[in-house]
């Protein structure tokens, strides 16, 4: 091919999805490359236009370029040795590049709809050295940065970024985000070495709102450091919760066990984090305003737990979390926790429990004691007085002693356990469903109500107020029952229905 074929002339080139033919033997080249959108489809990567100008100047190829897309604009100019057209990773480059991302909101379209981005980024960089080991100098700036994940409630706003390139190191001078009444500030560096990147990032949190949703709120303060050296990642620091509330959802649909394989369905891929060479040594202080709601618990917690993790091993923890106050739902009842200690002595997901919870204002102190580990808990009924397990369950579920009829008492206890307990803990429809024996009694008008079987359905509206419905199997008498517990031994009972009555009960028990 003759080199003087296009000497000192300009070459305009339009690419419409076709590859150009031939070799580049030009003294001067100017190109205007446009990728038009196909019908109904945007241009690749939102590209609007790209201009390239290049010319041979002695033994150097000098170029300048401008790229305009929906997401960013790039302009640059530079030169590299021509050497007959042989360019490889050892070829030195000298260039100046300016990059601008005027609106990060456009990038959110490339990700999940739940993710929201905002702000601007810009960089002015000078690049020198071999193509395989470029050195950089220049500044990177960002303003009005915003990141929001509507699934988790994470919201970072008013972000400011100040960073610079120094050779093959990216230095993070300052990255600050505001959230709630506090902020988070990060600084550090990333060194690109031949053996692998090394990085250190230091994070300072000051009343920083990690989550902010009605069911999940967490405000923390503290310091942490994330480092990566020789492909090993380490996380250290101490974080304190200034305020926290975590609500777990009600029990959902059942799921298959991990050892069940469904034919035709691809097995779930392991999490990318499972294979990370991550070492963790993090102290977590729950502070004195941390609330947890879920799995029958509604408690305020305090304590310090040291979380650790090593590559190839499950996360572990050591420390003790104490229940300051709270309630535990069991057998359909909201029980007051009188003693609650959760001890971590190994695996993070299997702490040891020591919890005692009793029915509110129970005359006999009926309740439950939970011990053992989370994976294998042991639950037993307790009371302040010596009584049978049947009586403990009756006092716990129904709030009164078991009926004299042995069979009916067992039926009432069983119904209270299986229905009021198991279903209500997940659904929350009622607190009492069962059948009991009602003894013969004299009503206010002088008539006698004979003994019979009574079906009861009830709901504990508050810790003191109970609303129920009673239906006599034999007499078909119906009544709405409203009971209010004034103290441990004194209660008021109103029945409205076939026979209306008002009762004031005071119980004085002797050991």
**pLDDT, tens digit only, all 511 positions of the chain:** 223 223 333 443 433 334 333 333 344 444 444 444 444 455 555 677 788 888 887 778 888 999 888 888 999 999 988 776 677 888 899 999 999 999 888 887 777 777 888 999 999 999 999 888 889 999 999 999 998 877 767 788 899 999 999 988 999 999 999 877 889 999 999 888 776 778 999 999 999 887 777 777 888 999 999 898 877 888 899 999 998 888 766 555 456 666 677 777 766 555 444 556 778 899 999 998 888 887 677 889 899 999 888 887 777 889 999 999 888 877 767 788 999 998 988 887 778 888 899 988 888 888 888 888 877 788 888 999 888 888 888 788 777 776 655 434 443 444 444 444 443 444 444 455 555 556 666 665 666 566 666 777 777 777 677 777 777 766 667 778 887 877 777 777 877 777 777 777 777 665 5
Asked if 89 and 116 count as a contact pair (C-beta separation under 8 A), the reply is no
Asked if 69 and 89 count as a contact pair (C-beta separation under 8 A), the reply is no
Distances (CA, A) of 492 to 389, 393, 437, 457, 487: 27, 23, 21, 19, 10
Distances (CA, A) of 200 to 183, 189, 276: 20, 6, 17
Please report the pLDDT score of residue 359 as a whole number: 87
Strand partners, 44: none
| Integer Cα distance of 487 and 478 in angstroms | 28
Asked if 434 and 469 count as a contact pair (C-beta separation under 8 A), the reply is no
| Integer Cα distance of 303 and 17 in angstroms | 64
User: Tokens 């003894």 sit at which residue?
Assistant: 439
Q: Where are the domains of the chain?
A: 1-83, 91-231, 397-506
What pTM did the predictor assign?
A: 0.65
State the distance between the two ends of the chain, measured CA to CA, in whole angstroms.
Answer: 114
Please report the pLDDT score of residue 275 as a whole number: 54
- Using DSSP, state whether 122 is helix, strand or coil: strand
Distances (CA, A) of 107 to 59, 90, 497: 41, 34, 66
Q: CB-based contacts of 496: which residues, under 8 Å, 6+ apart?
A: 479, 480, 482
Please report the pLDDT score of residue 283 as a whole number: 93
Asked if 64 and 76 count as a contact pair (C-beta separation under 8 A), the reply is yes
Please report the pLDDT score of residue 138 as a whole number: 94
Q: CB-based contacts of 489: which residues, under 8 Å, 6+ apart?
A: 363, 506, 507, 508, 509
Please report the pLDDT score of residue 1 as a whole number: 29
User: Tokens 């409630």 sit at which residue?
Assistant: 153
**CA 168, chain centre distance (Å):** 36
Joined tokens for residue 473:
């199997």
Distances (CA, A) of 97 to 34, 72, 133, 426: 21, 13, 17, 60
| Integer Cα distance of 166 and 135 in angstroms | 8
Please report the pLDDT score of residue 272 as a whole number: 44
DSSP-assigned states of every residue in 417-448: IIIIIIIHHHS-S-SEEEEEEEPPEE-TTS-E
């Amino acid at each position: 091919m003759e080199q003087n074929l296009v000497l000192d002339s300009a070459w305009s080139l339009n690419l419409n999805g076709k590859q150009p033919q031939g070799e580049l033997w030009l003294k001067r080249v100017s190109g205007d490359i446009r990728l038009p959108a196909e019908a109904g489809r945007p241009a690749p990567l939102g590209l609007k236009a790209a201009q390239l100008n290049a010319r041979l100047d002695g033994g150097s190829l000098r170029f300048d370029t401008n790229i305009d897309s929906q997401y960013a604009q790039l302009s640059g100019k530079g030169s590299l040795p021509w050497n007959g057209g042989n360019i490889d990773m050892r070829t030195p480059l000298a260039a100046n590049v300016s990059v601008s991302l005027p609106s990060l909101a456009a990038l959110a379209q490339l990700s999940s709809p739940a993710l929201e981005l905002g702000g601007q980024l810009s960089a002015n960089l000078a690049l020198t050295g071999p193509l395989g080991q470029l050195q950089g100098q220049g500044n990177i700036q960002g303003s009005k940065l915003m990141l929001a994940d509507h699934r988790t409630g994470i919201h970072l706003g008013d972000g400011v970024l100040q960073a610079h390139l120094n050779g093959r190191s990216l230095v993070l001078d300052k990255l600050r985000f505001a959230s709630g009444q506090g902020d988070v500030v990060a600084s550090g560096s990333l060194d690109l070495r031949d053996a692998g990147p090394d990085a250190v990032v230091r994070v300072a949190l000051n009343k920083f709102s990690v989550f902010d949703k009605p069911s999940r709120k967490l405000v923390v303060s503290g310091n942490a450091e994330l480092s990566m050296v020789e492909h090993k990642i380490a996380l250290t620091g101490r974080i304190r919760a200034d305020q926290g509330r975590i609500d777990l959802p009600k029990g959902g649909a059942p799921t298959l066990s991990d050892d069940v394989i469904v034919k035709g369905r691809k097995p779930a891929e392991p999490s990318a984090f499972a294979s990370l060479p991550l070492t963790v040594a993090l102290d977590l202080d729950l502070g004195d305003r941390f609330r947890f709601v879920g799995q029958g618990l509604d408690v305020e917690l305090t304590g310090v737990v040291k979380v650790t993790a090593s590559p190839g091993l499950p996360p572990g923890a050591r420390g003790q979390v104490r229940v300051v106050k709270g309630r535990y739902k069991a057998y359909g009842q909201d029980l007051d926790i009188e003693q609650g200690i959760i001890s971590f002595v190994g695996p993070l997901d299997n702490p040891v429990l020591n919890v005692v919870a009793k029915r509110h204002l129970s005359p006999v102190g009926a309740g439950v004691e939970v011990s053992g580990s989370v994976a294998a808990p042991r639950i037993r009924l307790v009371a302040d007085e010596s009584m049978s397990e049947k009586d403990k369950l009756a006092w716990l579920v129904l709030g009164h002693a078991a009926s004299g009829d042995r069979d009916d008492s067992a039926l009432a206890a069983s119904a209270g356990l299986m229905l009021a307990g198991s279903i209500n803990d997940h659904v929350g429809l009622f607190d009492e469903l069962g059948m009991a024996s009602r003894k013969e009694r004299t009503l206010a008008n002088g008539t006698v109500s004979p003994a019979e079987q009574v079906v009861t359905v009830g709901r504990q509206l508050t810790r003191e107020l109970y609303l129920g419905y009673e239906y006599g199997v034999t007499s078909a008498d119906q009544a709405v029952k409203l009971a209010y517990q004034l103290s441990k031994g004194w209660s008021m009972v109103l029945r409205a229905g076939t026979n209306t009555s008002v009762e004031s009960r005071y119980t004085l028990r002797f050991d």
